[in-house]
Amino acid sequence: MSAEGAFLKACRGQAVPYTPVWFMRQAGRYLAEYRAIRAKASLLEICRRSDLAAEVTLQPVARLGVDAAILFADILLPFEPLGLGLSFAKGEGPVIARPVRSPTDVARLPEVDPSDGLGYVLDAVRTIRKALDGRVPLIGFAGAPFTLASYAIEGGGTRDFVTTKRFMYSEPDAWHTLLDRLATLVGRYLAAQAGAGAQALQLFDSWVGCLSPDDYREYVQPHSATALSLAAEGGVPVIHFGTGTSMLLEFMAQAGGDVIGVDWRISLDVAWSRLPGHGIQGNLDPAALLGPVPTLEAKVRDILRRAAGRSGHVFNLGHGVLQQTDPEHLRAVVDMVHEWSAAGV
Amino acid sequence: MSAEGAFLKACRGQAVPYTPVWFMRQAGRYLAEYRAIRAKASLLEICRRSDLAAEVTLQPVARLGVDAAILFADILLPFEPLGLGLSFAKGEGPVIARPVRSPTDVARLPEVDPSDGLGYVLDAVRTIRKALDGRVPLIGFAGAPFTLASYAIEGGGTRDFVTTKRFMYSEPDAWHTLLDRLATLVGRYLAAQAGAGAQALQLFDSWVGCLSPDDYREYVQPHSATALSLAAEGGVPVIHFGTGTSMLLEFMAQAGGDVIGVDWRISLDVAWSRLPGHGIQGNLDPAALLGPVPTLEAKVRDILRRAAGRSGHVFNLGHGVLQQTDPEHLRAVVDMVHEWSAAGV
pLDDT digit string, tens, across residues B234-274:
999 999 999 999 999 999 999 999 999 999 999 999 999 99
User: Residues near B201 by Cβ (< 8 Å), separated by ≥ 6?
Assistant: B139, B140, B141, B142, B190, B193, B194, B231, B234, B236, B237, B238, B239
pLDDT at B4: 59
**How would you classify the pairing of strands B86-88 and B94-96?**
antiparallel
B105 is a catalytic site residue? no
Chain A residues in contact with B265 (beta carbon < 8 A): 209-213, 244, 246-247
Q: What angle do CA B56, B61, B65 make, to 5 degrees?
A: 155
Interface residues from chain B to A (CB-CB < 8 Å): 159-162, 165-166, 168-170, 209-215, 244, 246-247, 264-267, 270, 285, 287-288, 290-292, 295, 299, 302, 322, 324
Instruction: Cite the DSSP H helix spans in chain B.
Output: 3-11, 32-38, 43-48, 50-64, 103-107, 114-117, 119-132, 145-154, 162-170, 172-196, 213-215, 221-232, 249-255, 268-273, 293-307, 327-342
- In this structure, the number of other CB atoms found within 10 A of the CB of residue A29 comes to 14
pLDDT at B89: 83
With CA atoms as reference, report the closest residue to B265 among A151, A223, A214: A214
Instruction: Note whether B247 contacts A270, CB cutoff 8 Å.
Output: yes
CA distance B345 to B333: 14
Transcribe B234-273 into DSSP letters: T-S-EEEEESS-TTTHHHHHHH--SEEE--TTS-HHHHHH
Domain count within chain A: 1
Chain B residues in contact with A210 (beta carbon < 8 A): 265
Chain B residues in contact with A168 (beta carbon < 8 A): 291
> What residue type is assigned to position A245 of the chain?
T
CA distance A211 to B298: 16
| Domain containing residue A145 | 3-342
Residue B344's Cα: distance from chain center in Å? Answer: 28
Q: Smallest Cβ distance to A209: which of B213, B265, B267?
A: B265
With CA atoms as reference, report the closest residue to B106 among B208, B215, B181: B181
Q: Smallest Cβ distance to B166: which of A162, A266, A290?
A: A290
Q: What SS3 class is residue B148?
A: helix
> What residue type is assigned to position A178 of the chain?
L
Average confidence (pLDDT) per 10 residues, chain A, 345 residues: 79 97 97 97 96 98 97 98 93 92 97 95 98 97 98 95 98 98 98 98 98 98 98 98 98 98 98 98 98 97 96 98 98 98 91
pLDDT one digit per residue (tens) for chain B, 345 residues: 455 599 999 999 999 999 999 999 999 999 999 999 999 999 999 999 999 999 999 999 999 999 999 999 999 999 999 999 999 987 779 999 999 999 999 999 999 999 999 999 999 999 999 999 999 999 999 999 999 999 999 999 999 999 999 999 999 999 999 999 999 999 999 999 999 999 999 999 999 999 999 999 999 999 999 999 999 999 999 999 999 999 999 999 999 999 999 999 999 999 999 999 999 999 999 999 999 999 999 999 999 999 999 999 999 999 999 999 999 999 999 999 999 999 987
B126 is a catalytic site residue? no
CA distance A237 to B214: 31
Chain A residues in contact with B215 (beta carbon < 8 A): 285
- CB burial of B126-157 (b: ≥16 within 10 Å; e: otherwise) equals ebbbebbeeebbbbbbbbbbbbbbbbbbbbbe
Share of chain B above pLDDT 70, in %: 99
pLDDT at B188: 98
pLDDT at B239: 98
Residue A318 main-chain phi, psi, to 5 deg? -85, -10
pLDDT at B2: 54
pLDDT at B90: 78
CA distance B202 to B200: 7
CA distance B153 to A257: 39
Closest alpha carbon within chain B to A302? B214
CA distance A275 to A269: 10
Instruction: Note whether A165 contacts B290, CB cutoff 8 Å.
Output: yes
Q: Smallest Cβ distance to B288: which of A169, A290, A322?
A: A169
Give the CA radius of gyration of chain B.
19
Contact (CB, 8 A) for B328 and B36: no
CATH number for position A201: 3.20.20.210
CA distance B177 to B123: 30
Task: Report the Cα–Cα distance between both ends of chain A, in Å, rounded.
Answer: 19
B335 is a catalytic site residue? no
Q: What SS3 class is residue B315?
A: strand
With CA atoms as reference, report the closest residue to B105 among B156, B171, B169, B188: B171
pLDDT tens digits, one per residue of B137-164: 999 999 999 999 999 999 999 999 999 9
Measure Cα distances from A210 to A247, A249, B268 in Å: 11, 13, 16
Give the burial class of B5: count Cβ atoms within 10 A of its Cβ; 0-12 exposed, 13-18 middle, 19 or more buried: middle
* β partners of residue B260: B240, B280
- pTM of the full structure: 0.97
Instruction: Tell me how close the Cα of B269 comes to any Cα of chain A, in angstroms.
Output: 12
- In this structure, the number of other CB atoms found within 10 A of the CB of residue A108 comes to 12
Q: What SS3 class is residue B338?
A: helix
